[in-house]
Amino acid sequence: KGPSIIFRGIMSFKPNIDGCLWFLKNVFPLLKTEIKNLKFFIVGPNPPKEVLKYKNNNDVIITGYVEDIREYIVGCDVNISSLVSGSGIKNKILEASALGVPTVATSIAAEGIPELKDNENILIADDPQEFAKKVISLLNNKELYKTISNNARKLVEENYTWEKQAKKFFEIFDKLIEEYKTKKVSIIVPAYNEEKTIGNVLEKLNSLDFGLEKEIIVVDDGSTDTTRFVVEKFKNDSLKIISHGMNQGKGAAIKTGIQNSTGDIIAIQDADLEYDPHELKTLMQPIIDKKTFVVYGSRFLKKNPCIYKSYYLGNKFLSFLVSFLFGQKITDSYTCYKLFHKKVFERIDIESQRFEFEAEITCKILKNGFKILELPISYNPRSIQQGKKIKFKDAIIGVLTILKIKFWS
């Protein structure tokens, strides 16, 4: 009976507490000087003592939890949204608008709903006197009240019905599905003086059918033999050839390949035939199926030949160190076969130039919260005489790289 206004929300939520107290202290006294019989309803569970002390005032009704908020909204003339902090969509405004009750709000309360326009479908004010003035204008001006009420209701009908919101949700969902849909694979082949094997590697890669569009990116890292000439023989629409003027290292070659890739999946394939390219299809499938963002082919998950015990022990130690420091067991951190969804490189930047790339990428993947799925692969190791390039000093640099990323990066 008589004019009434409502503030509502979960009253243990700090932005609601602050907004309600701001209104009680700064605006409501101004309203009472103009409208003596005005009632202010504060509706919502768990009001704190700072708010409850106003309950002694007969003009302030504090209900606590109510079964059906709609009865209180439609029973009041104006909805108050006087937030002074917080963010996001304020459903309280939309609910009141849907029920035909106009709102006076602060700019913070209104900012999450872009369709709200001052003096059209809502009244907005941040100054206490201006806020009080706008509440009074709604209570005293029937034409203004009707205009704001009708326009607010129309806003909800056009933009915030369940049907409209569901449509927006599915549009976003479809966009995300399309964004993560795997359409193309980029296979990066870093090469330095690999004239004897790179032809066979490219033959096998060209023969593979992943059921996806494919690009092969050969990065010739300053080879001094006929590697570039051999690669040129395989040139086609799916093959990119990039040359470094001088040898920069495996990490630099892979970084160049990644920067020039356009695939949704990025796979690393060495040019030395120690790894069988036909296994790429199996390794790739978990990423295509969206089960993981990263797959490593592990040489230690099945029995494989080993030429040099020092290489075996070095890799085992580096993998143990990564596992211990970054919290996921990795059996083969220095495997060539590393496959990634392109999204990984939106969060990871490669800095390493040489073989320490293997340690860097593994540590940064784990540090950024990605999990690495390891699958068993075959391995046909070659000797130093056959062209194996990694040396003991590379293992030392790998250890330093791991420690740097863990403790100083």
Q: What is the DSSP string of 167-196?
A: HHHHHHHHHHHHHH---EEEEEEEESS-TT
Cα separation, 113 vs 99, in Å, equals 17
Mapped onto helix, strand or coil, the DSSP state of residue 338 is strand
Q: What is the DSSP letter of 370?
A: P
Per-residue pLDDT, 177: 73
The model's pLDDT over 106-160, given as tens digits with 9 standing for 90+, comes to 999 999 899 999 999 999 999 999 999 999 999 999 999 999 999 999 999 999 8
Amino acid identity, residue 202? L
Report whether 344 contacts 294 (CB < 8 A): yes
At the fourth CATH level, the homologous superfamily of domain 4-171 is Glycogen Phosphorylase B; (3.40.50.2000)
pTM of the model: 0.58
- Residue 215's nearest CA partner among 197, 200, 235, 232 is 235
For 215, list phi and psi in degrees, rounded to 5: -130, 140
The model's pLDDT over 165-212, given as tens digits with 9 standing for 90+, comes to 888 888 888 887 776 667 899 999 999 999 999 999 999 999 999 888
Mean pLDDT of all residues in the chain?
91
Q: How far from the centroid of its chain's Cα atoms is residue 325's Cα?
A: 25
Query: What fold is seen in the domain 182-408?
Result: Spore Coat Polysaccharide Biosynthesis Protein SpsA; Chain A (3.90.550)
Q: Do domains 4-171 and 182-408 have the same CATH topology?
A: no
Cα separation, 374 vs 333, in Å, equals 10
Per-residue pLDDT, 304: 81
> Cβ contacts of residue 44 below 8 Å, gap of 6+?
8, 9, 10, 11, 16, 63, 64, 65
Q: Most confidently modeled of 349-353, 374-378, 393-397?
A: 374-378
The model's pLDDT over 219-261, given as tens digits with 9 standing for 90+, comes to 999 999 999 999 999 989 899 999 999 999 999 999 999 999 9
The model's pLDDT over 306-332, given as tens digits with 9 standing for 90+, comes to 656 776 788 788 899 999 999 999 999
Cα separation, 43 vs 28, in Å, equals 16
For residue 122, the cross-strand partners are 118
Residue 323: both structure tokens together: 């596992």
Report whether 399 contacts 321 (CB < 8 A): yes
**Element (DSSP H or E) covering residue 62:** strand 60-64
Residues 19-47, mean pLDDT to the nearest whole number? 96
> Cβ contacts of residue 331 below 8 Å, gap of 6+?
298, 300, 301, 319, 374
pLDDT exceeds cutoff 60 at 386: no
Cα separation, 268 vs 337, in Å, equals 6
Q: Between vectors from CA 272 to CA 269 and to CA 274, what angle results, nearest 5°?
A: 80
Strand 39-43's sheet: what is its strand order? 60-64, 39-43, 4-8, 78-81, 103-105, 123-124
Per-residue pLDDT, 382: 58
Residue 77: both structure tokens together: 């003339």
Q: How far from the centroid of its chain's Cα atoms is residue 150's Cα?
A: 39
Cα separation, 50 vs 65, in Å, equals 17
Residue scoring higher pLDDT (388 or 123)? 123
**What share of residues in the chain are helix, strand, coil (percent, to 5)?**
45, 15, 40
Residues 45-55, mean pLDDT to the nearest whole number? 93
Q: Give the 3-state secondary structure of 70-129.
A: HHHHHHCCEEEECCCCCCCCCHHHHHHHHCCCCEEECHHHHCCCCCCCECCCEEECCCHH
Cα separation, 77 vs 104, in Å, equals 11
The model's pLDDT over 287-300, given as tens digits with 9 standing for 90+, comes to 998 899 999 999 99
Domain borders along the chain are: 4-171, 182-408
